Amino acid sequence: MSSPKQYKRIVLNERPIRDFEPGTFRTETVPFDLKPGEAQVLVQTTWLSLDPGMRIFVKDYPSYVPQIQIGEVFIPLNILFRDLKCYKLMQGQGLGIIVQAGPGSILAVGDTVKGRWGMTEYAVVDDSAVQKLVIPQGADALDFLSTLGLSGMSAYFGIKDIGKLKEGELLVVSGAAGSVGTIACQLGKQAGAKVYGIAGSDEKCEWLEKELGVDGVFNYKSPNFREDFKKIGHVDVYFDNVGGGVGFILAEAPPHLLFFLKASLDSSSSYDYALRFPEAVQLLAAGLADGSIKRKFHIVEGGIEQAPVALPLLFSGGNTGKLFVHSS
């Protein structure tokens, strides 16, 4: 590889008071001085995954992941991410291509990998911190950041284990046209439930009905939302992607999923089910292969500097399906 003279990365500029604000990040252009060491690789980022949970890396409150500090370059590892080297760049999962392999690396130039090396065009990462992708038939590499990644895992274990959704039950999914909600709606239909989706625009509601085949939809911005919603009667499982009551919650609620279930409340992370991810991946990959699981990618072009511009879409409802930034 002929190395570029410099590369770009996104760093935390100031802590936002609410969600992501225009001054939250800045793009730095830095000299290219990256060289993989023993059992390391140099990765060129191709795609960045943007997720509502990224707020917890930058906001000023305690959370289950280490916060990014302003001006720092490297992040200490906590128990959840103990095997990952996380740069104190703006974090997030991404896909990349290996452009240089260090001595003793088990990975090869040209391999496509997934990892959490942060919002940077290039990064040196340990072999052990990335997953080499073998893309199943009918799937796309981006599925590893969505349907076959944490979105799919959250939907699968939320519906199956936490919701224990049964045939004939009534499921309501908020944030239904988003990355997790899309999969939750479809798994609900597969389980034989009656599925209602809540979303923030008529276009999203139409897509949920026509493309995903949900039984009913509610636009929570409609003036009749509350009255209309009451008419559905008893709800067996509420799969909540927005953290409480629709309309205000993503800004304030804990950023992990909340599941209101059969009169109980369960607040869970998909990481709780990590040992069983292969079971979910197998089922969801089969659904992608036979077309029974559909998903939508919302792609923002223009390189990693578009990430700070694209992140607010998650809070304004500007995305339908999984939000990505195309890096290179």
Ligand X SMILES: NC(=O)c1ccc[n+]([C@@H]2O[C@H](COP(=O)([O-])OP(=O)(O)OC[C@H]3O[C@@H](n4cnc5c(N)ncnc54)[C@H](OP(=O)(O)O)[C@@H]3O)[C@@H](O)[C@H]2O)c1
Binding interface with ligand X (CB under 6 A): 51-53, 150-151, 154, 175, 177-181, 199-201, 204, 241-243, 246-250, 255-257, 269-270, 314-315, 317, 319
* Rounded least distance, CB 68 to ligand X, Å: 17
Closest to ligand X by CB, 7 vs 259, is 259
Helices (H), 114-211: 150-157, 179-190, 202-210
* Rounded least distance, CB 81 to ligand X, Å: 13
Closest to ligand X by CB, 51 vs 305, is 51
Closest to ligand X by CB, 21 vs 72, is 21
Closest to ligand X by CB, 8 vs 204, is 204
* Cα–Cα distance for residue pair 326/304, rounded to 1 Å: 7
* Rounded least distance, CB 175 to ligand X, Å: 4
Closest to ligand X by CB, 107 vs 257, is 257
Closest to ligand X by CB, 44 vs 306, is 306
Closest to ligand X by CB, 57 vs 122, is 57
Closest to ligand X by CB, 107 vs 199, is 199
β-sheet bridge partners, residue 258: 240, 267
DSSP 260-306: EETTEEEEE-GGGGGGGHHHHHHHHHHHHHHTSS---EEEE-S-GGG
* Cα–Cα distance for residue pair 63/68, rounded to 1 Å: 11
In terms of phi and psi (left: phi > 0; alpha: psi -120 to 50; beta: otherwise), the region of 124 is beta
From residue 170, give the alpha-carbon distance in Å to each of 152, 238, 239, 274: 21, 9, 11, 27
From residue 296, give the alpha-carbon distance in Å to each of 93, 201, 204: 18, 16, 11
* Cα–Cα distance for residue pair 213/287, rounded to 1 Å: 15
* Rounded least distance, CB 247 to ligand X, Å: 5
Residue 60 DSSP symbol: S
* Rounded least distance, CB 196 to ligand X, Å: 13
Contact 205, 218 (CB under 8 A): yes
**CB closest to ligand X, residue no:** 178
DSSP 41-54: EEEEEEEEEE-GGG
* Cα–Cα distance for residue pair 16/77, rounded to 1 Å: 23
* Rounded least distance, CB 211 to ligand X, Å: 15
* Rounded least distance, CB 273 to ligand X, Å: 9
Q: Which two tokens stand for residue 225?
A: 């939302």
